[in-house]
Chains A and B, each alone.
Chain A
């Protein structure tokens, strides 16, 4: 059995993470953490599946498409049991691992985001939440249904509404499906985000050539996996360049230790690993061991030294 040495530990947004590796939202669920005992030694923090205020049934089948060599499409539609059930049932399970828990939340309006933040504070298990990560992928009903994450004013207002009540760190998860991710990231920071998570899935679609129809009933889906890695690295590079003091959680197509190093060097302080977990639920142990070996070979006292080093 290996132990994780402090070399992979880092500090971001005032939170101590024992490892730069986190899971991406939606790549694990709470019961699964009980079945993967090696996870807590190879993760620095846990990100929950995105929850909404009320339970959501999600989208019709089929919900996923395999894209050989490059990743997958998903159209899950944020199926989740709701905020109350998640706080009551999942948070105690997750917190038992002794890792910081980032609660991923999504809403249809700034007011609803604020209500959710207030609900977390008022719930007996709310203190188990170390930080919030705002999933800004829903339509904003206050702005005629334009997706939250694609409009700077929506993002700013959502962050303002949440940070007005929630005083622990709030991360904004940015969508790459925008013209200028830096202006959106800037709006999140103005609204009070202490950190940025980049990137959410890329919009994509696929056609089933056998049926001559779209593979997924809703056509549009979120593209994730190794194919989006350069898009994520580009976003992180630009965000770090413009906001060098703001911690970035890099996410998008990471499958290997080399990918993690690339994200850190581009400017990320932490990374999240998602899609590859579906094939390799034990991937965190391998990446952790490889990162430790790299740090040792490079003589690094802390992997945090690498963050943004490619800009120098």
Chain B
């Protein structure tokens, strides 16, 4: 049974520092807490309260970085009405941030043997984890199109020559998805001891299967994204089926990071896509 935090919850009053574009439909938001300083472990997340009170749910986001205590960086994609409203935030706008929440990554024993595999905005928590390590390890970053390679220079600063980019359309880096890249360069999986994956659910499932085949000794952790009305274990809305127990786990408090082995990947209880989290905007 996973340990669940009993740390008091904090709902931070924040101010927007910047909210900059960093790719097609991609944004980098920096918040500054106005009350208590904020820190978190890599892989933990926050629930952001959208300015428009009509939005009944807060939105869950992995933390990209805490550049200094009290600053919270979020890397997000505009996918619907809520994130479209977030994209319009400007410096000094107010926002509330509940967190840090959930269980983050278990750090690698040997950081140089860590393999980070991010799909799209799933790269965010891997960036924070890689950055916090004494030695960076290797990072595979897959996106659909060259215009969606957000945070490239930031990732290069952390991973240097060990950043492997894959694009579905081949307009930058390796032509193909992350699984095809890993098949093409099996030494990435073979030389690794621990792998960390974050991205769309089906991408994570395929990657876990591939890694199991390439290197059965590899320890794999995944960070799941789910519909998350509360983020604090109350609503039982965000669950994932388990391989080792009957009851599904709440992603928000027992995760979002899980051992890949603990998840029942073949179950139809898993959502088909991690990205249809909110109602679409008609204008998009």
Residues of A that sit less than 8 Å from B by CB: 26-29, 31-32, 34-37, 49, 55, 57-58, 60-64, 66-72, 74, 76, 79, 81, 208-211, 225, 275, 277-279, 281-282
B5 at the interface (CB under 8 A from A): yes
Q: How many angstroms between the C-alpha atoms of A63 and B241 in the bound complex?
A: 13
- A262–B253 Cα gap in the complex (Å)? 35
B6 pairs with A29, CB closer than 8 A = no
Of B57, B253, B270, which one neighbours A279 at CB under 8 angstroms?
B57
Q: Closest CB of chain A to B261's CB: distance in Å?
A: 19
Q: Closest CB of chain A to B161's CB: distance in Å?
A: 39
Assembly CA distance A32 to B101 (angstroms):
12
Distance (whole angstroms) from the CB of A211 to the closest CB of chain B: 8
B236 close to A68 (CB less than 8 A): no
- Residues in A with CB closer than 8 Å to B270 are 61
Of the residues A57, A68, A275, contact of B246 by C-beta under 8 Å: A57
Asked if A71 and B11 make an inter-chain contact with CB atoms under 8 angstroms apart, the answer reads: no
Q: Are A32 and B233 in contact (CB under 8 A)?
A: yes
Is B163 among interface residues, defined by CB-CB distance under 8 A?
A: no
Residues of B within 8 A of A208 (CB): 276
Known contacts A32-B232, A210-B280, A281-B232; is-contact A74 B237 (Cβ 8 Å): yes
Point out the residue from B230, B248, B276 that lies within 8 Å of A278, measured CB to CB: B230
Tell me if A68 and B81 are in contact (CB < 8 A).
Answer: yes
CA distance A36 to B230 in the complex (A): 14
A57's contact among B52, B235, B247, by CB below 8 Å, is which? Answer: B247
Whether B230 contacts A63 by the Cβ 8 Å rule is no
With A29-B234, A68-B279 given, is the CB distance from A35 to B54 under 8 Å? Answer: no
Q: Given A66-B279, A68-B279, A69-B54, is A35 in contact with B235 using a C-beta cutoff of 8 Å?
A: no
Q: Given A277-B230, A281-B232, are A61 and B271 neighbors across the interface (CB < 8 Å)?
A: yes
Which residue of A27, A62, A74, A209 contacts B271 across the interface (Cβ within 8 Å)?
Answer: A62
Return the CB mask of B8-28 against A: 1 if under 8 Å, else 0. 110100000000000000000
With A208-B276, A281-B232 as contacts: A36 and B9 at CB distance below 8 Å: yes
* Nearest neighbor of A211 in chain B, beta-carbon distance: B276
CB of A61 within 8 A of CB of B276, answer: no
List 4 extra interface pairs beyond A58-B248, A74-B237, CB under 8 A: A36-B8, A61-B270, A66-B278, A281-B232
How far apart are A102's CB and chain B's nearest CB, in angstroms?
17
Question: Which residues from B are CB-within-8-Å of A49?
Answer: 236
User: Within 8 Å CB of A275, what residues of B?
Assistant: 56
Indicate if B73 sits at the interface (CB-CB under 8 A). Answer: no
**Complex formed: what's the CA distance from A6 to B99 in Å?**
33
**Nearest A residue to B11 by beta-carbon distance?**
A282
A72 to B268, Cβ gap below 8 A?
no
A57 vs B245: C-alpha distance when bound (angstroms): 10
Known A27-B234, A79-B239, A81-B247: A60·B278 in contact at CB below 8 Å: no
Q: What are the interface flags for B52-65 relative to A under an 8 Å C-beta threshold, 1 for contact and 0 otherwise?
A: 10111110000000
B173 on the A face (CB < 8 A)? no
Q: Which of A36, A67, A79, A211 contacts B248 (CB 8 A)?
A: A79
Find chain A residues with CB under 8 A from B279 CB.
66, 68
The answer to whether B239 and A210 have CB atoms under 8 Å apart is no
Residue numbers in A under 8 Å from B8 (CB-CB)? 35-37
Most chain B beta-carbon neighbours within 10 Å: one of A26, A61, A62, A278: A61
